Homo-oligomer: A and B are copies of this chain.
């Protein structure tokens, strides 16, 4: 145990935590990853790079491949195997985004029209399949069965989480634990896998693998909690997705779960109708935001996120202090502070 992991609460409020350290830590490697991504999304079928490029070139934070790169830095790995694997991770993520947009009927993604709107659902589903297959081709090219195992298992978990989320949709009775199970699968599993494979590539022991897995998993949960809070946060400066999408789709996220639990009988009646799909006007959304604010459900959700971010930081305590560790800690701090 190292004693110099910065407790997350101390850092917040002092200097504003930022992604800058992790971005500059991984900048050079990310250039290689981006080149691999652009190269490997090519195909003789022009629609494939056109559609994939629409999303991939459209920005995105490259959070997941960044975890692989940062983990490799943390462990002092000096090779380049992880570049290919980080690209594979981003392809898996991109494939799930494309399929999510079809599943949710999304209209925008990353501030522009979603691929399904521009190219239609059929092409979006199929290009997702292509990127997913391509991800496995990249992993096979690397040749580590251990990495293949980690990422194929994460992929199956993601799909199960997505189906579970679909099953819980419009179900007001969804509990906080069930919600945590869903985001643990649909979001955190890939964060965990992306981090973990850095330890595999660096040929570290099981304890290092587990520590990076814990870091990624807890960070992923924190990240998704904040995403879900921002969707109802009237103070939020950042809009991660279309405001009110979760509300209109009847998705049971933590702010709603808490507002329902803390609500008066009359408010609970509102939530039941809203989640069932009978209250979807702009006024209904405004009322939902008001109720969530009234019961402090945004700050409660942020508090939960802070708990998981703290666990993420603590998972790194086994590694000696380094620029990489500090950057990864600050990234976790940033994850819970963003949106203001």
Interface residues of A (CB under 8 A from B): 43-48, 95-96, 99, 102-104, 121-123, 125-127, 129-130, 132-134, 136-137, 139-140, 143, 145, 148-149, 152-153, 155-156, 158-160, 162-164, 166-167
Chain B nearest CB from A143 CB (Å) reads: 6
Q: A122: which B residues are within 8 A, CB to CB?
A: 102-104, 166
Q: Do B99 and A129 have beta carbons less than 8 Å apart?
A: yes
Q: State A48–B158 Cα separation when bound (angstroms).
A: 13
Give Cα distance in the complex from A115 to B162, angstroms: 17
Most buried by B among A126, A158, A164: A126
Using known A-B contacts A99-B129, A102-B121, A129-B132, determine if residue A140 contacts B160 with beta carbons closer than 8 Å. Answer: no
A104 to B103, CA, bound (A): 16
Q: Within the complex, which residue of B43, B130, B136, B153 is in contact with A148, where a contact is CB–CB below 8 Å?
A: B136
Docked Cα-Cα span, A132 to B134, in Å, equals 13
In the bound assembly, the distance between CA atoms of A155 and B152 in angstroms comes to 14
- Other CB < 8 Å A-B pairs besides A129-B159, A130-B160, 4 of them? A123-B166, A126-B163, A126-B166, A137-B149
- Nearest CB in chain B: distance from A321 CB, A: 36
- Nearest Cβ in chain B — how far from A53, in angstroms? 14
A148: which B residues are within 8 A, CB to CB? 136, 140, 148
Q: Does B125 lie within 8 Å of A103, measured CB to CB?
A: yes
Going nearest first, the 3 A-B pairs with the smallest beta carbon separation are A130-B159, A133-B155, A133-B156
Q: Supply 25 A–B pairs (Cβ within 8 Å), ascending by A.
A: A43-B163, A45-B160, A99-B125, A102-B125, A103-B122, A104-B122, A123-B163, A126-B159, A126-B163, A127-B159, A127-B163, A129-B155, A129-B162, A130-B160, A132-B132, A133-B152, A133-B155, A134-B156, A136-B148, A136-B155, A137-B153, A137-B156, A140-B145, A140-B148, A148-B148
Residue contact B166 to A47, C-beta cutoff 8 Å: yes
Given contacts A159-B133, A164-B45, contact A152 B140 (CB under 8 A): yes
What's the nearest-Cβ distance from chain B to residue A93, in Å?
A: 13
Determine the chain B residues whose CB is within 8 A of the CB of A45 once the complex forms. Answer: 160, 163-164, 167
Q: Which of A44, A123, A130, A133 has the most CB of B within 10 A?
A: A133
